[in-house]
Amino acid sequence: MTMLVLVFTATVAKCNGDSPGPIPDTGVVRSYNFTVARGIRSPDGVSKHMLLVTDQFPGPKIEADWGDTIEVTVHNAIQNPHEPTSIHWHGISQRETPWYDGTPSITQCPIAPGETFVYRFRALEFGTSWWHAHYSAQYIDGLFGPIVINGPKIADYDIDLGPILLIYRMECYEEDSGKRNQYSI
């Protein structure tokens, strides 16, 4: 096992004061298309089977403004007929759309191989977090990426911190999560 650190960039400002007010309804829809499939990559120098999003590892950054609607179409192109998937939007409360939380067998049925599911929710909070697979241990195989919800343009802030780095720490195993999970209790 090796450790891998992934770096993304975002821009933040240090805010000081009260809440910026009610959540705006911008009317803007930010659309993303994810095709989830297995591929071979070498994130730590050792080739291994990984889960890729549209042939990309880590997955693409989702970026929106506070109050925008985010729409992500996920197509499960994993060839294993016994490997469904789902995506969880970490840090998104889903107050208006709990059925899009991405928790398989609780808020939604897992997305079966060959099937497509559309997640659609409003950016009710702003900040930086990540999205990740919520089925089995698929995120360990690379099924994750950043999500950045930009805050209001009118918010007072004391210090413009400019670009920052988003860092993910990941343990890289030589075998995929399916093999590891067959031995877990």
What is the CATH number for 166?
Answer: 2.60.40.420
Confidence of residue 171 (pLDDT cuts 50, 70, 90): low
Element (H, E) at 63: strand 62-65
Could you give the maximum distance between any two Cα atoms of the chain, in Å? 53
- 73 with 34: CB under 8 angstroms? yes
Predicted local distance difference test score (pLDDT) of residue 1: 46
Q: Residue 47, exposed/middle/buried by CB under 10 A (0-12, 13-18, 19+)? A: exposed
Q: Which residue has the higher pLDDT, 36 or 14?
A: 36
pTM: 0.77
Q: Which of 44-48, 142-146, 168-172, 177-181 ranks highest by mean pLDDT?
A: 142-146
Which residue range is the domain that position 45 belongs to?
Answer: 2-17+24-181
In this prediction, residues 164-176 reach a mean pLDDT of 58
- Residue 53, helix vs strand vs coil: strand
Q: For residue 86, which of 65, 107, 62 has the smallest C-alpha distance?
A: 107
Predicted local distance difference test score (pLDDT) of residue 92: 79
Round to whole Å and give the CA distance between 57 and 64: 21
Domain total in the chain: 1
- Report pLDDT digits (tens) over 94-152: 777 766 666 767 778 888 999 999 999 999 888 888 888 887 777 778 788 999 888 87
